[in-house]
A and B are shown apart, each in its own frame.
Chain A
Amino acid sequence: MYQNRNILKGNILTIVKYKMPNQNIDSLIQDIRKDFPILKTGVIYFDNAATSQRPKPVIESLKEFMENENANINRSVHTLSEKAMLHFNESRKIIADFINAEENEIVFTKNATEAFNLLAYTIKEIIPKGKDEIILSEMEHHSNLVPWQEFAKRYNFKLKFIKITKDFELDIEDYKTKLSDKTAIVSITHISNVLGTINPVKEIVELAKKHNVITIIDASQSAPNLKINVKNLDCDFLIFSCHKVLGPTGVGTLYGKYELLKKLPPFNFGGGMIKSVTFEKAEYLDPPEKFEAGTQNIGEVIASAEAIKYLNKIGIKNVEEISSYLYNYAVENLKKIENIEIYNPGKGKSVDIISFNLKGIHCHDVASILNEDKIAIRAGHHCAMPLMKVLKVNGVCRVSFSVFNTREEIDHLIISLKKCQEVFNK
């Protein structure tokens, strides 16, 4: 799939490959579109990296749970509660299988940000003495930056940032110079939410292991786009949010190797995570329940598993194929626009997230004008303000696709972008 396709300009084969529609993919997309009720509003939705849309099985699952299954779990022996609990546990298994993890290695949080906070508040216990550095990169989302800034303040740790090359890729040589026996944690995004860059996380983890470093992967943008296999990656922790994978909001997923989850102290305390309590003290359940204090988002977890089932039905291979089909078409056509600046590493190195600016036009003006044509894109700093500094911009426009987007919609985007330039260059 994302193999490098650096073929010389003028090669007829390349042109055929990118310019000609692929009828199989187009008809697959048309079938998928029928499952997304929101598309009836007429929106051209290119903001999937912020949150994806929900297909019918997810919406129906939420309704079904509320109408026929709603009860609290782990507490009662009545039929409704037992049904809800079975369904909740099955859902954990489906989500675990999605990334090739074991069931008891999946902890539910309210979102990816909370999962990062869970780690930042508990991980100190498993860091060996003498280590006091954390390596992040210049392309991290605030959710994988600010919790570590607070951690560093609390425990007097140093943060180091892997630089980005001029081609918008991680500078692995820079990583190697920053990595040492003093490194406690490497926490890196699998795919940049701004640049679309696919980072070589397997290599990053391998290098870290040589220095006995805890590895954390932010899979928020990769879970919707690529097959993830935590056993193959061999990372210690991996985090993603179900609402970016066609699921509802309110469900974050923290994967952790079981022996590490065992060693971490709980994050929140109270009901639902208790083995036994006296007035003086409490004993806690094993992972994952140890980290799931209080009533969970039961219906949303179940609907998240429905989203994963839906993706599995399309097939991850097809998901990857659609992603690269739309990316190639969009990037080729965006490049043809005059006075555009594209912040993306290029074919074979990016998923279907493309950021750009039209020279002389503020990204929010572009987004507002596109909105008048019913095209939804994101503009601004994308919760990556330090990255904006590196790119020397205040903000960028970002389009991010999903399995229901079409080439025709991308054509509309290109027309509307040209319209923006006409309006501003009058």
Chain B
Amino acid sequence: MSLSMYKEQILELYKNPNNFGELNNFTHEYHEFNQICGDEIIVQLIIENEKVKDIKFNGAGCAISVASASLITDYVKNKDIKEISKLNIEDIKKLLGIEISPGRVKCATLALETIKRAINKEN
């Protein structure tokens, strides 16, 4: 059985994602939809001195999008927002440790793209 995308780590993060929930005192927020399936994700951040102090995400999603959101929200903590703006699918693949089939790239990058939009949006 070659369930290449569904490694244990991915399934574990899907069931118990990190940084899942809401922030009361966020400075940046963005709602986004996955255009393939219509799933909604909400990302909230506290940004101080151009750095991500805290981050949470909320919404429903597939295993790939939830695991990616969990990993990327961990990764961007304490990172400079300029650095975050340079991240792309290759970085997500490294974090996930799997190959992503072309049809699922949007799921894997949904959280990252939403984070970027939250940062660029005037709040």
Q: Assuming the A-B contacts A369-B3, A372-B4, A419-B1, are A364 and B60 also in contact, with contact meaning beta carbons closer than 8 angstroms in the complex? A: no
- In the assembly, what is the distance between CA of A364 and CA of B3, in Å? 14
Asked whether, in the complex, the Cβ of A372 is within 8 Å of the Cβ of B38, the reply is no
Determine if A153 is an interface residue (Cβ-Cβ < 8 Å): no
Residues of A in contact with B, size category: 10 to 19
A388 contacts which chain B residues (CB < 8 A)?
38
Q: Assuming the A-B contacts A380-B36, A381-B38, A394-B60, are A364 and B6 also in contact, with contact meaning beta carbons closer than 8 angstroms in the complex? A: no
- In the assembly, what is the distance between CA of A365 and CA of B37, in Å? 11
Asked whether, in the complex, the Cβ of B5 is within 8 Å of the Cβ of A368, the reply is yes
User: Using an 8 Å CB-CB cutoff, how does the interface string of A133-162 with B read, 1 for contact, 0 for none?
Assistant: 000000000000000000000000000000
Interface of A is mostly: helix
Chain A proximity of B106: nearest CB distance (Å)? 10
Q: Assuming the A-B contacts A424-B11, A426-B11, are A365 and B6 also in contact, with contact meaning beta carbons closer than 8 angstroms in the complex? A: yes
Determine if B101 is an interface residue (Cβ-Cβ < 8 Å): yes
Q: Which of B22-30, B61-69, B72-80, B89-97 contacts A (4 or more CB under 8 A)?
A: B61-69
Asked whether, in the complex, the Cβ of A368 is within 8 Å of the Cβ of B37, the reply is no
Q: Which residue of A has the minimal Cβ distance to B66?
A: A362
* 8 Å CB interface, A107-139 against B: none
* 8 Å CB interface, B6-47 against A: 6, 8, 11, 36-40
Q: Assuming the A-B contacts A385-B38, A388-B38, are A372 and B62 also in contact, with contact meaning beta carbons closer than 8 angstroms in the complex? A: no
Determine if A198 is an interface residue (Cβ-Cβ < 8 Å): no
Closest 4 CB pairs between A and B?
A362-B62, A364-B62, A380-B37, A395-B37
A interface residue numbers (CB < 8 A to B): 362-365, 368-369, 371-372, 379-381, 385, 388, 394-395, 419, 423-424, 426
B interface residue numbers (CB < 8 A to A): 1-6, 8, 11, 36-40, 60-64, 101, 103-104, 107
